A and B are shown apart, each in its own frame.
Chain A
Amino acid sequence: MNSKVADRIATGVFVTIAFIIVAILAALFSFILFRGVPQISWEFLTTPSSSVQAGGGIRDQLFNSFYILFITMLITVPLGVCGGIYMAEYAKPGKVTNFIRSCIEMLASLPSIVVGMFGLLVFVNTTGWGYTIIGGALALTIFNIPVMVRVSEDAIRSVPAEMKEASLALGITHWHTIKTVLIPSAFPGILTGSILASGRVFGEAAALLFTAGLSTPRLDYLDLNPFSETSPLNIFRPAETLAVHIWAVNTNGIMPDIREIANGSSAVLVLSVLIFNLLARWLGSVVHKKITASK
């Protein structure tokens, strides 16, 4: 076969593949949004879910998702940023650093259901807490920490070496340089990375099945005492998140409007992840412009 003809054919094949990928993506997005968005209403977002009757909403699930996300990030961000600083600034090449790198790699590739099982074993059974928000958040921390460490390490490493050297040359100590020069310059990168990681945490379900549970107690949103049983802020209560809700409704739901609830919840979930993504890109560039005075 003529090599030019072969080249044409190959190009055609690659264009077709790209077209197939675009078609799949477009179909997925439009499918989720067109079927789900009509279900979303103020009422859907603010009514508690019902286990037998039609017309249940997702108020508690939505709140739980954001609350678990908040607690997870509260634990993960400091840990991840400090881990990133260690890897970028203090780790000396050698066996120990290699070992830590292997650990991060391993944590990153753990199947989320395995993380959930570990959570069940340690945060649910060994501690005797039962299904709790804090157990779920700790399991998600294990799942999220490698991402945060990698993001922070990359962000700190990408700060120009001149800035660090200039600071050290002024006689400022290493830690003070990290605090006042490296972290502020790496901040946009860390921010973008954490918001993207939030999207991942927000949609995670398998790790939460056995740690935060499949149920939510009756909540009283006016009760803000975090130690009260019915308070939404109580971190020692079981909590079903939105992603878990979609799964649970489809597997053991008995209400008549399963499809509608699942459609609406999927759309809310995907829209939230979309917003996280756009927010990350936009905030990252805004903060970058603000603090570096560059365009």
Chain B
Amino acid sequence: MENKAALSAGERLIKSKQNRSLGELRGKILVTLCALIMITATVAVTIFLTVKGLQSFLVNHVSPIEFLTSTNWNPLADQPSYGALPFIFGSLAVTFLSALIAAPLGIGGAIFMTEIAPSWGRKVLQPVIELLVGIPSVVYGFIGLTVLVPFIREHGAGTGFSILAGTIVLSIMILPTITTIATDAMGALPNSLREGSLALGATRWQTIRKVLLPAALPSLLTAVVLGMARAFGEALAVQMVIGNVRNLPESLLDPSATLTTIITLNMGHTTYGSVENNTLWSMGLILLIISFVFILIVRYLSSRRKI
């Protein structure tokens, strides 16, 4: 205490300034470190999964061409074969089909909320839809399993576990994602566009079709692509309803499997380091690469954004 009092006012000022600049430096180091951690995490995920995913090709000498193009998946046979095409096909099929269902509904809902009933649409519909984004995917899967699968079994053919069930579960799951982003996109359009078009005597539908939709198109496509990315990466909800067979499906009512469902099912009970286990990691690598592709598409679309 005595020491402190002995310091002159000037010295105290200098000292506090030193403290401050030290704090400044410390703060900067702290936040930069956090940014570095994010970079490290991303790079680590990429490197670890790439190295592990390539092992089946480099160490176990599974032919990459066979892996990507053969429809024969039989790792337990005497002459094991590792053709992952049915799973890649299954993943792409459910992703595109669910986007085909969810995109018109989502974009239509967004137009309803922004153009047709902006007042109550925004106040009531939007919070509810945002709430829906938060429903855990296992719950969607569980409802699909207890409602959708028996329904298809009774009204269609087979066991009910099918691409159709997977597609419907995924479309309901990505519907809120697409609707939310599409609503933001439509809401961000300047009002002058609407007013200009209406002043020319166009009806509301003509305004929407000829002016608003083209202007918002890149953002709307972004919404659909993000929805597809979510559908593509979803594992458990699909696994519960799709049936998980290794054959290439012939119709919508046939059971099938996707990359994610095969990983979910087999990762637990294959020996770590075995050939079959390594091919699962290769499927993980495919998932990683395709999620990169989705990001690239989103980036391309946002660079084409007109407004």
Given contacts A105-B295, A175-B28, contact A14 B234 (CB under 8 A): no
A50 to B205, CA, bound (A): 58
Across the interface, do A200 and B139 meet the contact criterion of CB distance under 8 Å? no
Is there a chain B Cβ closer than 8 Å to A187's Cβ? no
A100 to B32, CA, bound (A): 11
Interface of A is mostly: helix
A-B interface pairs (CB < 8 A), number: 244
B26 proximity list for chain A (CB < 8 A)? 175
Using a CB–CB distance below 8 Å, which chain B residues touch chain A? 20-21, 23-24, 26-28, 30-35, 37-39, 41-45, 48-49, 52, 104-105, 108-109, 111-113, 115-117, 121, 125, 128-132, 134-139, 141-143, 145-147, 172, 175, 179, 203-206, 208-209, 226, 229, 232-236, 239-240, 260, 263-264, 267-268, 272, 281, 284, 287-288, 291-292, 294-295, 298
Given contacts A122-B48, A247-B240, contact A205 B134 (CB under 8 A): no
Report the contact-size class of chain A (Cβ under 8 Å from the partner): 35 or more
Across the interface, do A103 and B39 meet the contact criterion of CB distance under 8 Å? yes
Residue of B27, B41, B109, B226 touching A21 (CB-CB under 8 A): B109
Residue of B35, B206, B233, B234 touching A91 (CB-CB under 8 A): B35
**Which chain B residue lies CB-closest to A200?**
B134
Given contacts A111-B235, A205-B138, contact A17 B288 (CB under 8 A): no
A22 proximity list for chain B (CB < 8 A)? 125, 128
Residue of A107, A179, A251 touching B27 (CB-CB under 8 A): A179
Across the interface, do B205 and A7 meet the contact criterion of CB distance under 8 Å? yes
B105 proximity list for chain A (CB < 8 A)? 17, 20-21
A175 proximity list for chain B (CB < 8 A)? 23-24, 26-28
Across the interface, do B142 and A262 meet the contact criterion of CB distance under 8 Å? yes
B226 proximity list for chain A (CB < 8 A)? 109
Is there a chain B Cβ closer than 8 Å to A114's Cβ? yes
Q: Which one, A160-168, A265-273, A286-294, is touching chain B? A: A265-273
A276 to B128, CA, bound (A): 14
A121 to B277, CA, bound (A): 12
A149 to B288, CA, bound (A): 22
**Which chain A residue lies CB-closest to B201?**
A3
Across the interface, do B233 and A113 meet the contact criterion of CB distance under 8 Å? yes
B292 proximity list for chain A (CB < 8 A)? 106
A183 to B124, CA, bound (A): 32
